[in-house]
Structure 1
Amino acid sequence: MSGPELSGAEHALRHVEARSTGSPLDRALRVTLNFHPERVVAALADTGRYVSQFVTGTSNGGLTAFAGGDRWRWESRMFGGVYDRASAYDRPVYGGLNFRLSPYGASPRFGSAHLRLTADTLSRTTFCYPDSFLEPENLGTADRMALIEIALADDRDLLDDYIEAHVHGPVSVEADAEALVLDPSYRGTAVEEEASRLPCAVEWHPGFRLSVDELRRHPDFRGPQYVDLGLEIAVDGVLTPKIIGDVRDRYDQQDLKKVWHLLARFGRP
């Protein structure tokens, strides 16, 4: 007699675990989901759920989350095709394993805010290193985790220094989040007001802040045109996450993403 039918998430976890090596993960470590808080925090408060880019149609990385797109293809490869015909709401959400214990979350490349998930979510999370867009062979689960040693031995830029995480199954703010962690530039703003509606703790990290003098020193990081754009939108000689967020409807999103990379890379205390 066969057992109960496995869900897509369970199939994906088994598929990845069979291709993973290493010892069990330290359960004190946490997965974080980094994002820009404008709109997202309000959506979290309204729906109580964090959803994938296949649902939102937006991303702080590439914009290929559609059937046949690169993100779809990468997931098909990594998870053995189990999500090829799945609903957008059934697909995993992306974050990072915060193995360096950063107050900014595992992957601030994707935003200044993050949800810190509970230890219980680790058992339904898969991992890869480096980022899945590179189609890596190094995979992991909470029970088979060799990726930390691989990442520690690597030499990647600060913004690329993360172990990608994929949380399978619904992510509920109430059940699965320990805290929402925000940049202090959002104190006293609508983002903080929306955050107060969440059924989890709200915390603050040390903050991102980049002076225009420091910004001018890095034209080679993403290109001089993004330094110029940063200089254009800076307020009182500085960039913060809120300053970038305030102009998101006035500039190309991909251009602002590069300005954010400059702030995230060079604007930490």
Structure 2
Amino acid sequence: MATTARPSEVTGRPAPARLTGAQRAALRHVRSVARAGAPPPGALPPDAAGLLATVRDHARITLNFHPDRLLADGRTLAESLAEDGVYRSQYETGLSNGSRTAFPGGLRDGWEDALFGGAYHAAGVRPAERPKYGALNLRQYPDGAAPRFGSCHVRLRPAVNARATFCHNDSHLGPAHLGTADSFAPVLAALLAEQPDAAALVRTLPHAPAPASPGRSLDAYVEAQVHGPLSLAEDAEALVLDPSFDGTETGRLLAEVAARSGTEVEWHTGFALRPHEVDAEFRGPVMVPLAARICSSYARRGVLDAEVLGRAAASVVREPAAWAQWGSRDEVLQYVKQLWHVLVRFGHPASGGRGNA
């Protein structure tokens, strides 16, 4: 049964979302692991208490997603989001821009069993109860904390941190450093060991302006798992879009649901490449001819961007025979995903940035 999270089980302050028993158990488990793995003396700077409070109260989780990818029912993610303003997990949508194994017995299922102490594997737990994945955007990158997972992102309100769990690097790696908003020290210590300048960044979070340039972060991030429901109206601070969707049906749907939910719409500068600019080594030699094939079919200006890749991905799902020379449906979708990584890593700004809509 869903119950309102009690302050003592989260961060000592009320959390507005209603959490189920499984979701509360997942938070308790990660908190206990974090407290048992507290960093040794000297691993954190003298102002650690202030840093931890700043992360808790001011850091934003971003959830990167591709709005034009097709769900199992044939709708796009943007169409689903526009219907009720609810952001759903990969267990509900059947869609993932990371590991495509979010089903009982799949790899993602096994990772979650270990990460959350079996909380989501108890009898009667529904797919809708599973967490939603994002990353902690401590550097306030305009393309989100983990753009490898999507061209657009939802920026959550800091209050959502109270019902999130965190790990240093991606959860599929079996991370050793876990945390919650009120037990974040192991994650912060691991982050500072890898990125010593992160302490200075955290100190400026309440007042520093966001950088204009994208972070292009493909591998280095603090992963966040958000437990409980996520709605744009209650939990989102902004919906940040890629400029390639400006003037498209996808962009219109996202702008409309943002307006209905009272959520700001912002635009980052995007990523664009011409086929001859695609790196042949970063994700393998197939990227260059695939980029040329996609651009010849879908790019009106001969430029590869997020929207063009989305149309190609939809074609792979709807008419896989047209892509048979490139491999199976899943193989080609993997190539398209990797081509997006190339765009993030090497792409030029697609626009000068539009600011708030």
Q: What is the TM-score when the length of structure 1 is the normalising length?
A: 0.91
> Among residues 286, 289, 292, which one is paired with 1:231 in the alignment?
292
Which deviates more from structure 2 when the two are superposed, residues 5-14 or residues 33-42? 5-14
The aligned runs of 1:10-25 (5 Å cut-off) are: 10-20=24-34, 21=38, 23-24=52-53, 25=55
Q: Counterpart of 1:202 in 2: which secondary structure?
A: strand
Q: Return the alpha-carbon distance in structure 1 between the equivalents of residues 25 and 255 of structure 2.
A: 37
Q: Is the 8 A contact 2:56 2:158 kept in 1?
A: no
Q: How many residues align?
A: 263
The aligned runs of 1:8-87 (5 Å cut-off) are: 8-20=22-34, 21=38, 23-24=52-53, 25-38=55-68, 39-85=76-122, 86-87=125-126
| Residue 263, structure 1, aligned to residue 343, structure 2 | yes
Question: Structure 2 unaligned runs (5+)?
Answer: 1-5, 7-18, 40-51, 69-75, 196-215, 317-331, 350-357
Q: Return the alpha-carbon distance in structure 1 between the equivalents of residues 108 and 174 of structure 2.
A: 10
Q: Return the alpha-carbon distance in structure 1 between the equivalents of residues 64 and 285 of structure 2.
A: 26
Question: Structure 1 unaligned runs (5+)?
Answer: none
Q: Counterpart of 2:247 in 1: which secondary structure?
A: coil
Task: Show CA shifts across 1:77-119 (max 9, x none).
Answer: 0111010142000111101100121000110000000001111
| Residue 250, structure 1, aligned to residue 315, structure 2 | yes
Structure 1 counterpart of 2:178: 139
The aligned runs of 1:115-194 (5 Å cut-off) are: 115-146=154-185, 147-154=187-194, 158-194=217-253
- 1:268 is displaced (CA, Å) by 4.8
Q: What is the TM-score when the length of structure 2 is the normalising length?
A: 0.70
Q: Return the alpha-carbon distance in structure 2 between the equivalents of residues 178 and 226 of structure 1.
A: 36
Work out the percentage of aligned pairs sharing the same amino acid: 45
The structure richer in helix per residue is 2
RMSD in angstroms over aligned alpha carbons? Answer: 2.0
- 1:158 is displaced (CA, Å) by 3.6
- The residue type equivalent to 2:170 in the other structure is D
Q: Return the alpha-carbon distance in structure 2 between the equivalents of residues 201 and 158 of structure 1.
A: 23
- 1:148 is displaced (CA, Å) by 4.0
**CA separation of 1:32 and 1:6: change in aligned 2, threshold 3 A:** closer
Q: Counterpart of 2:138 in 1: which secondary structure?
A: coil
The structure richer in strand per residue is 1
- The residue type equivalent to 2:336 in the other structure is L
Larger Cα Rg: Structure 1 or Structure 2?
2
Q: Return the alpha-carbon distance in structure 2 between the equivalents of residues 237 and 153 of structure 1.
A: 43
- The residue type equivalent to 1:161 in the other structure is A
Task: Show CA shifts across 1:229-252 (max 9, x none).
Answer: 112212334211011112222233
**CA separation of 1:6 and 1:229: change in aligned 2, threshold 3 A:** closer
- 1:208 is displaced (CA, Å) by 1.2
Q: Is the 8 A contact 1:29 1:98 kept in 2?
A: yes
Structure 1 counterpart of 2:282: 221
Q: Return the alpha-carbon distance in structure 2 between the equivalents of residues 201 and 212 of structure 1.
A: 34
Which deviates more from structure 2 when the two are superposed, residues 246-255 or residues 53-62? 246-255
Q: Is the 8 A contact 2:163 2:227 kept in 1?
A: yes
**CA separation of 1:37 and 1:18: change in aligned 2, threshold 3 A:** same
Q: Return the alpha-carbon distance in structure 1 between the equivalents of residues 245 and 314 of structure 2.
A: 18
Q: Counterpart of 1:150 in 2: which secondary structure?
A: helix
**Divergent runs of 4+, >6 A:** none
